[in-house]
């Protein structure tokens, strides 16, 4: 049996390189040779508390090329460069009500995870592989997933052209939300950024201002550009273990405004729902990506990058080889390193 190298969390705070059996594509599947995998902030949070060693590699910000095809898949796809929707579409049954409506992440019959992008190879359904345009780099391919998350959050938030948008957080998802909101018609965009490199990148992605998340800096900045009303749409992209981002979102969003929440919260959050009710705000939860109005968020993300309307490659501040993945995790966790996006390249 063919083997491959993969990086697995050892349950003791480190990523270790292992030799695993290479997966084989089944009916409708493709074997993917991975080229870029982004280290996601959610991975850092999960591994911080996790004590159980992994048996399958993680990693979901993916791009690669089709190396082999399974039964029922066109052999002409071999060699195609693709961005990989590996969470939903690449595992979905394609038969249930949610799949038929394009909400693949909500499929109740997702195939068991067979391993993610911290490896040389992985298997997913051919349907979940989105062809990359020729002018896109592997770095951009690996950023398709977080950009699709952002596009979904903006679309779920029903952005109307010219509206004022607040983006809470300037990590990968927050920066992608800035870029997506700018490309999809936002007027003024004001973001919060915790670190200097994030504030600088927020402006390069299209924010008019990047302010501290502390105190009233965001509220005052929004008041200055909206005659005191607040944001029409606020996108929460922080998550974590604090209630503060959700409560700040309620505070800075105008009466009858919308809040699109895409941050991962790792414990129950307490929020002043009465304040939200009195302001008649809409709280919209946005998890991943789907088909909306006939277009998958992955397709829109790829088109935005290929057209040059969104320039994400500059977000990749560090790259490491698979053999150096622990170094990549260390850099990603240490914001004094200047890191924004760290990718594993092969």
Give the global pTM: 0.96
Q: What is the pLDDT of residue 264?
A: 87
3-state secondary structure 151-215: HHHHHHCCCCCCCCEEEECCCHHHHHHHHHHHHCCCCCEEEECCCHHHHHHHHHHCCCEEECCCC
Q: What is the pLDDT of residue 266?
A: 82
Q: What's the pLDDT tens digit per position in 204-220?
A: 999 999 999 999 999 99
Q: What is the pLDDT of residue 33?
A: 98
Whether the Cβ atoms of residue 264 and residue 178 lie closer than 8 Å to each other: no
Q: Whole-angstrom Cα distance, residue 188 to residue 282?
A: 20
Q: What is the pLDDT of residue 49?
A: 74
- Dihedral sign for Cα 264, 136, 336, 12, please: positive
Question: Where does CATH 3.40.50.720 sit in the chain?
Answer: 149-285
45 class by beta-carbon count within 10 Å (0-12 exposed, 13-18 middle, 19+ buried): middle
Q: What is the pLDDT of residue 1?
A: 78
Q: What is the pLDDT of residue 100?
A: 97
Question: Where does CATH 3.90.180.10 sit in the chain?
Answer: 3-143+312-345
Q: Whole-angstrom Cα distance, residue 325 to residue 344?
A: 7
Q: What is the pLDDT of residue 335?
A: 83
Q: What is the CATH number of domain 3-143+312-345?
A: 3.90.180.10
Nearest in space to 329 (alpha carbons), one of 58, 32, 4 = 58
Instruction: Kindly state the helix (H) or strand (E) to which residue 248 belongs, with its residue range.
Output: helix 244-252
Q: What is the CATH number of domain 149-285?
A: 3.40.50.720
Q: Which residues of the chain have pLDDT under 70?
A: none
């Amino acid at each position: 049996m063919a083997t491959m190298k993969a990086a697995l969390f050892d349950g003791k705070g480190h990523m270790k390189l292992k030799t695993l059996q290479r997966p084989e594509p089944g009916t409708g599947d493709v074997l993917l040779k991975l080229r870029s995998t982004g280290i996601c902030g959610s991975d850092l949070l999960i591994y911080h508390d996790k004590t159980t060693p992994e048996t399958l590699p993680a990693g979901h910000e993916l791009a690669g090329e089709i190396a082999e095809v399974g039964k029922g898949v066109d052999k002409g796809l071999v060699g195609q460069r693709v961005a990989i929707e590996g969470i939903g579409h690449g595992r979905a049954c394609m038969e249930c009500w949610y799949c038929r409506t394009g909400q693949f992440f909500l499929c109740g019959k997702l195939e068991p995870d067979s391993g993610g992008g911290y490896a040389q190879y992985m298997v997913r359904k051919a349907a979940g592989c989105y062809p990359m345009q020729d002018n896109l780099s592997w770095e951009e391919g690996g950023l398709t997933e977080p950009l699709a998350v952002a596009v979904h959050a903006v679309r779920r938030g029903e952005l109307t052209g010219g509206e004022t948008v607040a983006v809470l957080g300037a990590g990968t998802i927050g920066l992608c939300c800035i870029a997506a909101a700018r490309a999809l018609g936002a007027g003024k965009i004001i973001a919060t950024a915790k670190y200097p490199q994030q504030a600088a990148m927020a402006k390069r992605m299209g924010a008019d201002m990047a302010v501290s998340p502390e105190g009233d800096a965001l509220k005052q900045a929004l008041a200055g550009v909206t005659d005191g009303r607040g944001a029409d749409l606020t996108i929460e992209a922080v998550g974590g273990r604090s209630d503060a981002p959700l409560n700040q979102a309620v505070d800075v969003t105008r009466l009858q405004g919308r809040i699109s929440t895409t941050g991962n919260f790792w414990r129950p959050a307490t929020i002043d729902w009465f304040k939200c009710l009195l302001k008649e705000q809409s709280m919209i939860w946005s998890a991943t990506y789907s088909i909306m109005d006939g277009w998958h968020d992955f397709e829109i993300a790829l088109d935005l990058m290929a057209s040059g309307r969104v320039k994400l490659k500059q977000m990749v501040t560090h790259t490491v080889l698979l053999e150096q993945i622990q170094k990549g995790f260390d850099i990603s966790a240490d914001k004094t390193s200047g890191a924004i996006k760290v990718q594993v390249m092969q």
